[in-house]
Amino acid sequence: MKYKEISYSNEEEWLSIRKKGIGGSDAGAIMGKNKYRDIIDVWNDKTGRVNEKFTSPAAQRGKDLEKNIFYSYKIDNPDKDILEVDKMYVHPKYDFIRANLDGEIVYENKKGILEIKTTTINKWNKYVEEWQNNIPESYLYQILHYFLVTGYEYAVLVAEIKFECFKSENTTPFDLDKRLQTIVINRSDWEDEIQELLNKEIEFWQCVKNDTEPRMIKTYGG
């Protein structure tokens, strides 16, 4: 079965629709893989106990740069169709499992997910642990959530990484060290984790519907 689509006309309408389901940015927190949010934070948001605001300098920077990164990737990949997505996708069976993709990729007649991230590295060991031949777990679970919704076979994470860790007394105010890094995630490598995520999201949404606080079964890094 193919996913359903929901249209929205502005950010306020999108936020209202988003409250009625689980989005990709919620998945890592529900699984205990997000160091900034946990499952109780998501539950408080979905049950209306708090009104989460997604505003911070880092989040705003990411929002401002997203289109630039999208078009940069599009220009550098003329052999692929890079498509914009202006609708929310909904799981064909579970309408509370929803996705807002940054874009889609069509390559060799197969459609995939384009996910765009920005991050700043203040310590080199953070890059080694989370990005060097790796992907931060919260981002991974966001993509696994999108696999759940779309049924697509692959995703490409395009991350603009700014290195603050290399600044020293010898650098000038005009120095800027950045790289655009791409990571390919194949659905077939993560089928067990995707099934585990589906089970956990179903369990979590029952807690939302029943207004019952979910159990904290795992913490970030645990």
Q: For the chain, give every domain's residue range.
A: 4-210
Task: Report the topology of domain 4-210.
Answer: Lambda Exonuclease; Chain A (3.90.320)
pLDDT tens digits for range 15-74: 889 889 999 999 999 999 998 899 999 999 999 998 766 668 888 999 899 999 999 999
φ and ψ at residue 12, rounded to 5 degrees: -65, -40
Q: What is the pTM of this model?
A: 0.92
Nearest-angstrom CA–CA distance, 51 and 59: 17
> Which residues, 6+ apart, have CB-to-CB distance to 12 below 8 Å?
none
pLDDT tens digits for range 94-119: 999 999 999 999 999 999 999 999 99
CB atoms within 10 A of CB 161: 16
- Residue scoring higher pLDDT (219 or 206): 206
**Percentage above 90 pLDDT, the chain:** 76
> Which residues, 6+ apart, have CB-to-CB distance to 152 below 8 Å?
110, 111, 112, 113, 146, 187
